[in-house]
């Protein structure tokens, strides 16, 4: 009988030690971890990479992350850097009341940037290629 009690005590002790030595994150992970798709639901056009947006002028279009775009949604204070990847000169401007500007001619390879400081909509056009139109939606923080 004494041996039986000792065996039970030993078994309990081993169980306690096993639980004590188990890494707690094994238990936590099963509760906390989510599928990776949950963490990346935003579309690229709604993400602000450090407040700077690299937009290329390519094929007589506005191109962001290799895709032609007609609209870009940014946050007030963000800056758009336009890089002319075409073999022709572009000349970007906006006559929108929100924030009119005129960047003037940009040679092939040239980079120009605009910081958008007011919430609203700014239509960016090219004085040389009327078909080039980019609608920039600037959202308040
Ligand atoms: Cu142009």
Q: Say if 39 falls within a structural domain.
A: no
**Claim to verify: residue 28 and residue 68 sit in the same structural domain:** no
Q: Say if 128 falls within a structural domain.
A: yes
Q: 129 C-alpha to center of ligand 1: Å? A: 4
pLDDT of residue 10: 53
Contact 53, 72 (CB under 8 A): yes
Q: What is the pLDDT of residues 54-63, one digit of tens each?
A: 999 999 999 9
Nearest 5°: phi and psi at 109?
Answer: 90, -15
Residues shown for the chain = 141
Q: 44 C-alpha to center of ligand 1: Å? A: 25
Determine the Cα–Cα distance for residues 10 and 56; give it in Å rounded to an integer. 71
**Claim to verify: residue 68 and residue 129 sit in the same structural domain:** yes
**Claim to verify: residue 26 and residue 52 sit in the same structural domain:** no
Q: What is the pLDDT of residues 21-48, one digit of tens each?
A: 444 443 333 333 333 333 333 445 555 4
Q: 117 C-alpha to center of ligand 1: Å? A: 24
Nearest 5°: phi and psi at 56?
Answer: -100, 145
**Claim to verify: residue 89 and residue 125 sit in the same structural domain:** yes
139 burial type by CB count under 10 A (0-12 exposed, 13-18 middle, 19+ buried): middle
Determine the Cα–Cα distance for residues 70 and 60; give it in Å rounded to an integer. 12
**Claim to verify: residue 79 and residue 52 sit in the same structural domain:** yes
pLDDT of residue 50: 53
Q: Is the pTM of this model over 0.95?
A: no
Determine the Cα–Cα distance for residues 47 and 49; give it in Å rounded to an integer. 6
Q: Say if 72 falls within a structural domain.
A: yes
Average pLDDT over residues 89-110: 98
Q: 14 C-alpha to center of ligand 1: Å? A: 76
Q: 58 C-alpha to center of ligand 1: Å? A: 9
pLDDT of residue 39: 37
pLDDT of residue 141: 80
Q: 79 C-alpha to center of ligand 1: Å? A: 20
**Claim to verify: residue 69 and residue 112 sit in the same structural domain:** yes
Q: What is the pLDDT of residues 61-93, one digit of tens each?
A: 999 999 999 999 999 999 999 999 999 999 999
What is the residue range of 20's domain?
2-33
């Amino acid at each position: 009988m004494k041996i039986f009690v000792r065996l039970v005590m030993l078994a309990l002790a081993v169980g306690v030690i096993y639980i004590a030595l188990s890494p707690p994150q094994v238990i936590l992970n099963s509760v906390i971890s989510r599928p990776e798709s949950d963490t990346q639901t935003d579309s690229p056009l709604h993400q602000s990479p450090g407040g700077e947006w690299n937009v290329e002028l390519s094929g007589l279009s506005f191109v962001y992350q290799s895709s032609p775009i007609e609209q870009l949604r940014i946050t007030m204070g963000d800056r758009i850097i336009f890089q002319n990847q075409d073999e022709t000169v572009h000349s970007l401007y906006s006559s929108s009341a929100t924030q009119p500007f005129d960047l003037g001619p940009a040679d092939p390879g040239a980079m120009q940037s605009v910081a958008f400081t007011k919430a609203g909509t700014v239509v960016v056009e090219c004085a040389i290629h009327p078909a080039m139109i980019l609608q920039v939606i600037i959202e308040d923080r």
